[in-house]
Chains A and B, each alone.
Chain A
Amino acid sequence: MGFGPFLFLATLEGLVQASVLVLTAVGLSLVFGVMRVVNVAHGEFFMLGAVIAWFVATNMPGDPAIGFIAALIISPLAVGAVAYVADRLILTRLNYNPEATIVATIGLLYVIQQSVLMTYGADARPVDPPFYYTIRLPWFGYSSYKLFVIAAACVLLGVIWFVLKRTKWGLLMRATQFDRETALAFGIPVRKVYSFVFAIGAGLAAIGAVLIVPIQQAHYLMGLDPLLLSFTVVIIGGLGSIQGTIFAAILIGLSDGILSVFFSPTLAKIVSTLFVAMVLVFKPNGLFAKAKR
């Protein structure tokens, strides 16, 4: 295969990775940005989203597309509900103490992982994509579903953007993020905002997971990578900046993809990790930092 098509393939792959990453990371960005807590269980919400998608899709009769759409609705709601309960039962009682939250969310991670292992099992299980169609290019074939993932991520980001900038809930969230004390003084129900942000963040991770399961299977240990990558994306992009998060996700996805053209896989990962790390060395507050923290 010539260099051009290779690069094209790598770019496509990078964009697919970026699309899923950006949804997971925007969820984390809300939680981390608004609540200022490190939620170690965020990756498990992603995993839970994928596993629930599998349950829904396998138990839904008829065309795989129906199962997929059902999963896209049910899974984020269910995961959001789990996160909401976890917030009310645990995090509020810890008063969002940053250190205690880390330990508690590690505990939550264990609980979710073990529960999934006991009910769903240790196998990786696939979900049928809503449609099978391989686009045959002169040099290689490519799954049309992957292109759909990119499109779906763009649409969802538009919705998130609208909610944050144009609705009352978005305003409340942004206000709470900007200055919690003042928000409280203005009568914003900060506690409620926190619980909802935690649920929405988890739900967004679940949506990312539902989109990815037809490509990558649901497995009980799949949560770690999205967790680490999401944190990276959020910080590289600049905390509290949605544009930054999107930009950083694309940067990481593409650098991962394109560097794999030039190096052997593991070396490509090393170079790409160091490359992205250097962004922080030279822009310590991230690419789109709004204010010095």
Chain B
Amino acid sequence: MTDKTGNKTFNLTRRTALKGLAAGTSLILSPAVLRHGLAHAGETIKLGAPIHRTGIGAAYGRWYERVANAAVKIINDGGGINGMPIELIIEDDGTDPKRGTEVVEKFATEYKVDAIFGQLFSHVVAAAAPRAGELKVPYLMCSETHQLAAGGFSRYAFQPGITDVKSQIASMAPWVSKNLGKKVTMIYPDYAFGYGHRDFFSAAMKEQGGEVSTLIPVPPTETSFSRYFPQIDPSSDVIYHVMVGPGVLTFVKELGEFFGSSHPAIFGFVDSIEAVDLATPQLSFLEDSYFWEAAPRYAQADQTEFDKFYREAVGVDANGASTSDPKDISTYSHMFSVWETLFAIKSAMEAADYKGVEQKEAFIEALENLGTMEASNEHPQGKKVMDPKTHQAFGVQNISQVKSSKMEVVYTTTIEEGMYEPEVDYSKMSL
């Protein structure tokens, strides 16, 4: 067969078509259950981890996966949970609400896991967590989202490994208003967690007698920022930034070009530069500026032995980079949540003497009653207090200053500074 441009076209015969169809069908019909259901129930603890392997969260997902594998290895080497090893099942959720929900449904009904953990981006959590509740499978997010403590989900949802963003932000405001100034311009993404920063920080600053005078929400796909900078109120004391994704280097560089040497104090959430090397020349403008950090990326002078142990286990060096590639920077202030969540699962399952799904309710009650988790190898970021009503754990936060392209902790909050009145009581809901 030739066509008008004079080349051969691909010739479809019934045979090749059928062959293709057959190959495709056999692939589709081979159920995962056959591959993963080999271990009998009761022999392993099955944990499903939907991870952001692709999509906008991929830089985080890569580290979440490494941390999950490292923690599971330690638990299994130590005899597993109640004598049963963890069987970790990881699938990509594409950092997408639809796919994220599908994977949660799959873990619940096809793999029949004991619990699901590890989702991060708040739009994915918002879609997936309620479905997990409806399928009655414990769902542990590693996200920082406040939607859980705000009462948006169900009794099956927990966040034991990382403090939520409302608490993180509220605990920053007193220090910012005391040390940097009371008038703040906020630059934040018009995207998922940006709204939390806008609402909670504005409220928290007001409480401190300060104000957020200008809000600059930047559309998520924006790649150039200079033209928004003239909107920064020139009388502000502080520029508060929280950017995410590939645009951040441009953002900082253009901010530096725009202001030159005289500029307001700069305070940011480390989310802006997670997985980004601070020693990049484009980030030199951040020297002397301040960051919130949950876990200090650079090993501090007073590093705890727990942090040392954890760093080694997950393969991160003293600069927060991979031990095998110094250019591969970790998401240090987020990924510990995966580690701590797995150990929280372990300790709750042990408290409930969990042997299988029929003890799900005891497991959930044990999660609610985790209480105080002291700083340890299991909780290297520091002490956590689990609120049984909101299912949210609270921990300490750090403020670090950039010195010679590294971050030095200048202040560590107490847990109480980030506490707020519970907005929901999940423990009274039915299971």
Cβ of B217 and Cβ of A124 under 8 Å apart?
no
- Which residues of B lie under 8 Å from residue A93 when comparing CB positions? 8-10
From B7, B228, B257, B329, name the one whose CB has the most chain A CB atoms within 10 angstroms: B257
Q: Which of these, A95, A117, A216, A257, contacts B227 with CB under 8 Å?
A: A257
Cα A216 to Cα B8 with chains together (Å): 43
- Which residues of A lie under 8 Å from residue B230 when comparing CB positions? 1, 5-6, 9, 140, 261
Cβ of A124 and Cβ of B276 under 8 Å apart?
yes
From A121, A122, A215, name the one whose CB has the most chain B CB atoms within 10 angstroms: A122
Cα A114 to Cα B92 with chains together (Å): 13
Identify which of residues 230-251 in chain A touch chain B, using a CB-to-CB cut-off of 8 Å. none
Cβ of A191 and Cβ of B227 under 8 Å apart?
no
Cβ of B226 and Cβ of A219 under 8 Å apart?
no
Closest Cβ–Cβ distance, residue B124 to chain A (whole Å): 16
Cα A93 to Cα B222 with chains together (Å): 38
Q: Which one of B205-213, B244-252, B358-366, B415-423 contacts A?
A: B244-252
Q: Which of these, B217, B227, B234, B282, contacts A266 with CB under 8 Å?
A: B217
- Which residues of B lie under 8 Å from residue A269 when comparing CB positions? 219
From B3, B223, B245, B281, name the one whose CB has the most chain A CB atoms within 10 angstroms: B223
Closest Cβ–Cβ distance, residue A164 to chain B (whole Å): 21
Q: Which one of A10-18, A25-33, A69-77, A197-205 contacts B?
A: A10-18
- Which residues of A lie under 8 Å from residue B281 when comparing CB positions? 126, 128, 132
Identify which of residues 215-254 in chain B touch chain A, using a CB-to-CB cut-off of 8 Å. 216-219, 221-224, 226-231, 234, 245-250, 253-254
Cβ of B219 and Cβ of A141 under 8 Å apart?
no
- Enumerate the 10 nearest inter-chain pairs by beta-carbon distance, A residue then B residue, closest first: A122-B58, A124-B246, A219-B246, A122-B59, A13-B227, A6-B230, A1-B230, A93-B10, A141-B257, A216-B223
Residues of B within 8 A of A (CB): 3-10, 54-56, 58-59, 61-62, 190, 216-219, 221-224, 226-231, 234, 245-250, 253-254, 257-260, 275-276, 280-282, 328-329
Closest Cβ–Cβ distance, residue A253 to chain B (whole Å): 10
Cα A249 to Cα B198 with chains together (Å): 34
- Which residues of A lie under 8 Å from residue B224 when comparing CB positions? 13, 16-17, 215-216
Whether A221 is near chain B, meaning CB under 8 Å from some CB there, is: yes
Q: Which of these, A123, A181, A190, A257, contacts B59 with CB under 8 Å?
A: A123
- Which residues of A lie under 8 Å from residue B246 when comparing CB positions? 124, 216-217, 219, 221-222
Cα A136 to Cα B329 with chains together (Å): 33
Cβ of A141 and Cβ of B216 under 8 Å apart?
no
Cβ of A9 and Cβ of B56 under 8 Å apart?
no
Whether A94 is near chain B, meaning CB under 8 Å from some CB there, is: yes
Cβ of A141 and Cβ of B217 under 8 Å apart?
no
Cβ of A122 and Cβ of B260 under 8 Å apart?
no
Whether A96 is near chain B, meaning CB under 8 Å from some CB there, is: yes
Whether A142 is near chain B, meaning CB under 8 Å from some CB there, is: yes
- Which residues of B lie under 8 Å from residue A128 when comparing CB positions? 281
Q: What is the 8 Å Cβ interface bit string for chain A, positions 105-149, against chain B (1 contact, 0 not)? A: 000000000100100011110101000101010001111000000
Return the chain A residue nearest B56 by Cβ.
A221
Closest Cβ–Cβ distance, residue A195 to chain B (whole Å): 10
- Which residues of A lie under 8 Å from residue B276 when comparing CB positions? 123-124
- Which residues of A lie under 8 Å from residue B221 when comparing CB positions? 224-225
Cα A244 to Cα B253 with chains together (Å): 33
Q: Which of these, B4, B7, B217, contacts A265 with CB under 8 Å?
A: B217
Cβ of B227 and Cβ of A10 under 8 Å apart?
yes
Cβ of B222 and Cβ of A123 under 8 Å apart?
no
Return the chain B residue nearest A100 by Cβ.
B10
Cα A38 to Cα B250 with chains together (Å): 31
Residues A9 and B226 in contact in the complex (CB < 8 Å), given A190-B5, A225-B221, A266-B217? yes
Cβ of B7 and Cβ of A92 under 8 Å apart?
yes
Whether A177 is near chain B, meaning CB under 8 Å from some CB there, is: no
Cβ of A9 and Cβ of B59 under 8 Å apart?
no
Cα A190 to Cα B401 with chains together (Å): 62
Cβ of B250 and Cβ of A265 under 8 Å apart?
no
Identify which of residues 252-283 in chain A touch chain B, using a CB-to-CB cut-off of 8 Å. 257, 260-261, 264-266, 269
- Which residues of A lie under 8 Å from residue B217 when comparing CB positions? 264-266
Cα A71 to Cα B5 with chains together (Å): 35
Whether A194 is near chain B, meaning CB under 8 Å from some CB there, is: yes
Closest Cβ–Cβ distance, residue A216 to chain B (whole Å): 5
Cα A42 to Cα B3 with chains together (Å): 25
Cβ of B226 and Cβ of A117 under 8 Å apart?
no
Whether A85 is near chain B, meaning CB under 8 Å from some CB there, is: no
Q: Which of these, B54, B250, B254, contacts A117 with CB under 8 Å?
A: B54
Cβ of B227 and Cβ of A126 under 8 Å apart?
no
Cα A123 to Cα B249 with chains together (Å): 11
- Which residues of B lie under 8 Å from residue A266 when comparing CB positions? 190, 217, 219
Q: Which of these, B58, B260, B275, B328, contacts A141 with CB under 8 Å?
A: B260
Closest Cβ–Cβ distance, residue B365 to chain A (whole Å): 38
20 contacts between A and B (CB under 8 A): A122-B61, A123-B276, A124-B246, A128-B281, A132-B281, A140-B259, A141-B258, A142-B257, A143-B254, A180-B5, A184-B5, A184-B6, A190-B5, A194-B5, A215-B224, A222-B223, A260-B227, A264-B216, A265-B228, A266-B217
Closest Cβ–Cβ distance, residue A209 to chain B (whole Å): 12
Cβ of A117 and Cβ of B58 under 8 Å apart?
yes
Closest Cβ–Cβ distance, residue B359 to chain A (whole Å): 38
Cβ of B275 and Cβ of A123 under 8 Å apart?
yes
Cβ of A140 and Cβ of B258 under 8 Å apart?
yes
